[in-house]
Amino acid sequence: MLDKAPGKKLSDLLDRFGAALAAGDIDKAVGCFQEDCYWRDLVTFTWNIKTMEGRDQVHDMLTSQLAKSKPSNWALAKGEEATESDGLLEGWISFETEVARGFGHIRLKNGKIWTLLTTMVELKGHEEPAGFARPLGAKHGHGKNRPTWKEEREKEAAELGFVSQPYTLIIGGGQGGIALGARLRQLGVPTIIVEKNERAGDSWRRRYKSLCLHDPVWYDHLPYIDFPRNWPVFSPKDKIGDWLEMYTKVMELNYWSSTEAKSAAYDDEKKEWTVVVHRGGKDITLKPKQLVLATGMSGRPNIPKFKGMENFKGDQHHSAKHPGPDSYVGKKVVVIGSNNSAHDICAALWEAGVDVTMVQRSTTHIVKSDTLMDVGLGALYSEQAVQNGMTTAKADLIFASLPYKILHEFQIPLYEKMKKRDAAFYEGLERAGFMLDWGDDGSGLFMKYLRRGSGYYIDIGASQLIIDGAVKLKSGVDVTEIKEHSVLLSDSTELPADVVVYATGYGSMNGWAAELISKEVADKVGKCWGLGSNTTKDPGPWEGEQRNMWKPTQQEALWFHGGNLHQSRHYSQFLSLQLKARLEGIATPVYGLQEVHHTG
């Protein structure tokens, strides 16, 4: 007797699972899972971003949420086929809850669910006006004094924030705020984006002039509008700045540039924020119901406090303020730090003929850009992936479907392969004295990014300058003192310096909340970013998702949105649906609200 086809096996499992859920038989539904199972839910069941690990956690979630969510219509997604290989059966699925339509991914081992991803696609009755439902635009028929599209937009822009209040206020008009603003616009959520810079994209334009994205173009699309097919693989900073500025206009965002948020306070009785912003030479008070801090994945620049800094006679600044190399020709520059920004800045200074020394105080993970693209990203985000039929949306969901608890197990073999492939490169770095690491468990760049958001460099050429000695290196030392014209290191080396650049990273995003709202609210919310992996700079206990990102926090109506372009695109979908549901008065019973273990 032949085995059933993969699609039939998956459909049969979904029928059993769906029937158990419909009957309220939680024990039977949980019996469809393996003992070591993972259910990652993006909003549909938990109104949260939450991973249930093991049958007990699945049981607990369903006990809390099943009657509230009323799931139905579990099926192999239309037009999709299940596949089976090496004992693993997987496929794309569709389903519904009482208020939403969902899409997901499932993996079966031995006929039972190993990993399940469920994501909210749209709220019933509140679908985006796209496809057959797209707006007409033109006004056919007759009517006197009808406003044009331009006049309607000008009226909206003039009245929102004055005559009427935004439901959502987004503070931060970089890639995160823009992506979320676009989603909310399509969902009809009145929103203002506040940006202190003069133009959208200035947060990129104002960085050092050699900066390019280290992530490839296929990884970086914004919602709704993909980059053109001839867009460069790695976007120069000014080009991405122009793209963001264009995007805010064509997506019709209410974007308040040259506007600085000064204070915010939440009224528990009125369920609204009072936010004071400074714009056009005067203070304006806004009264949004929801406040989103989209001020970047990182908080304020970390500027170390070294003895004698106040005595330095030259120019010293954080890498966030680095203007580029032009004014430093003929000078001696010391760059303290050894991650992405430090490498980029050192390389640009060397290219301009500047005498530059990198001070490496702790180990850094380095991976060559072309190797990362080939081995690490190629299956999901590459031209070959596109040619093989991979879409950005599916790539995002495949990546999202791997639970963080076991993601490192999938990453370790990839980085072992990279280590072997580029063995001569790494030997050269070590000979130069550079201190390398591969993450605490050998899982490499992506896990370092998710756990701590730092500690790595994607090599686009600077490493060879270190190997060749063109960029000088002092490693395994710390800074003892900043003198008037030099940097004194812990091994008693004294580096002459006209310029000191602190490429020393950033603090937690909740630092913005402390500054804008209060330290009490920042502590109530707790640390942003990290998984609780108990690895370097990501203290435990295990939390299983990015702390406080894109989901409800301990402060009602306060949200954090950030990350790279990929995360801004992907998670803006789920944050926008959470906000839309609240606007429409749809019940949003949150399961598993994150406990606070770390305040900064």
Phi-psi region of 579 (alpha: psi -120 to 50; beta: other; left: phi over 0): alpha
Q: What are the C-alpha distances in Å from 267 to residues 193, 219, 271, 511? A: 21, 40, 6, 21
DSSP annotation of 319: G
- The answer as to whether 595 is a domain residue is no
pLDDT value at residue 66: 98
Give pLDDT tens digits for 116-166: 999 999 999 999 999 999 988 877 778 888 899 999 999 999 999 999 999
Same domain for 273 and 314, yes or no, is: no
What are the φ/ψ torsions at residue 293 (nearest 5 degrees)?
A: -95, 110
What pTM did the predictor assign?
0.95
Mean pLDDT of the chain: 95
Give pLDDT tens digits for 21-34: 999 999 999 999 99
222 touches 200 (CB < 8 A): no
pLDDT value at residue 361: 97
Same domain for 361 and 233, yes or no, is: no
pLDDT value at residue 142: 80
CA-based radius of gyration for the chain: 26
Same domain for 356 and 492, yes or no, is: yes
Residue 407 in this model has a pLDDT that exceeds 90? yes
Same domain for 100 and 201, yes or no, is: no
Nearest of 544, 399, 509 to residue 177 by alpha carbon = 509
Phi-psi region of 402 (alpha: psi -120 to 50; beta: other; left: phi over 0): beta
Give pLDDT tens digits for 450-507: 999 999 999 999 999 999 999 999 999 999 999 999 999 999 999 999 999 999 988 8
Residue 406: pLDDT band with limits 50, 70, 90: very high
Give pLDDT tens digits for 341-368: 999 999 999 999 999 999 999 999 999 9
pLDDT value at residue 145: 85
Residue ending a domain, choose from 486, 502, 518 = 502
- Work out the average pLDDT over 251-255: 98
Same domain for 269 and 335, yes or no, is: no
399 touches 380 (CB < 8 A): yes
pLDDT value at residue 297: 62
Residue 296: pLDDT band with limits 50, 70, 90: confident
Share of the chain above pLDDT 90, in %: 90
Hey, what are 87's tokens? 């004992």
Nearest of 376, 453, 455 to residue 418 by alpha carbon = 376
Question: Tell me, what CATH number does 273's domain have?
Answer: 3.50.50.60
Same domain for 81 and 168, yes or no, is: no
For 440, the domain range is 309-502
Same domain for 236 and 350, yes or no, is: no
- The answer as to whether 593 is a domain residue is no
Same domain for 114 and 193, yes or no, is: no
Give pLDDT tens digits for 86-127: 999 999 999 999 999 999 999 999 999 999 999 999 999 999
SS3 332: strand
Residue 2 in this model has a pLDDT that exceeds 60? no
Alpha-carbon gap, residue 407 to 132, rounded angstroms:
39
pLDDT value at residue 46: 98
pLDDT value at residue 212: 84
Alpha-carbon gap, residue 95 to 114, rounded angstroms:
18
What is the C-alpha end-to-end distance of the chain, expressed in Å? 60
One-letter amino acid for residue 203 of the chain: S
Alpha-carbon gap, residue 13 to 32, rounded angstroms:
7
Same domain for 292 and 339, yes or no, is: no
- Work out the average pLDDT over 48-75: 98
Nearest of 286, 176, 266, 162 to residue 220 by alpha carbon = 176
Query: How many residues are recorded in the chain?
Result: 600
Same domain for 90 and 209, yes or no, is: no
pLDDT value at residue 228: 96
Residue 529 in this model has a pLDDT that exceeds 50? yes
The total number of structural domains that make up the chain? 3
Residue 550: pLDDT band with limits 50, 70, 90: very high
pLDDT value at residue 3: 63
Same domain for 84 and 182, yes or no, is: no
pLDDT value at residue 1: 32
Same domain for 12 and 114, yes or no, is: yes
Alpha-carbon gap, residue 122 to 578, rounded angstroms:
10
